[in-house]
Structure 1
């Protein structure tokens, strides 16, 4: 999977969790929880959904490494 495909998966799963968020509103380098006002359950659901779709496990210890869109893409690309 290339970075554009990974980004598309993340944005698709984000839209399933928070349909009011437009994909162009997602900042690449800001904490998604703060920028998009996601609560902890929404963020956890995003991580679970993205993990299932990509097959890359994101352990709880690594949640801080995937707070931004760019960071999540990079993390998933390394685990691919």
Structure 2
């Protein structure tokens, strides 16, 4: 059964929630739509994998081949709101 598509606002909230713990709340709330997540928040490979796993819990499994699409807030929101 196909998951109902979440709104862009819900998707962005999910992305920002998945980033909590890797940076201060101020850093996360100040993160721009197109800021590169890994370099801006200094996420290492394990941090990035943890972020993707958290995000998977909210929007369905994210395949490793989709990881490049998880580079910015905007690209994550686009991915989560895409009708898959």
TM-score by length of 1: 0.84
Q: Supply the RMSD in Å over aligned alpha carbons.
A: 1.6
Residue of 53, 62, 65 corresponding to 2:66? 62
In 2: Cα distance, 1:51 partner to 1:34 partner? 21
Residue of 45, 49, 53 corresponding to 2:50? 45
Q: Which runs of 5+ in 1 are unaligned?
A: none
Instruction: Mark the structure with the bigger radius of gyration.
Output: 2
Q: Which has the higher contact order (CA 8 A, sep 6+)?
A: 2
1:13 aligns with 2:21: no
Task: Decide whether the 8 Å contact of 1:13 with 1:50 is kept in 2.
Answer: yes
Task: Decide whether the 8 Å contact of 1:21 with 1:36 is kept in 2.
Answer: no
Q: Relative to total residues, which structure has the larger helix share, 1 or 2? A: 1
Q: How many residues align?
A: 78
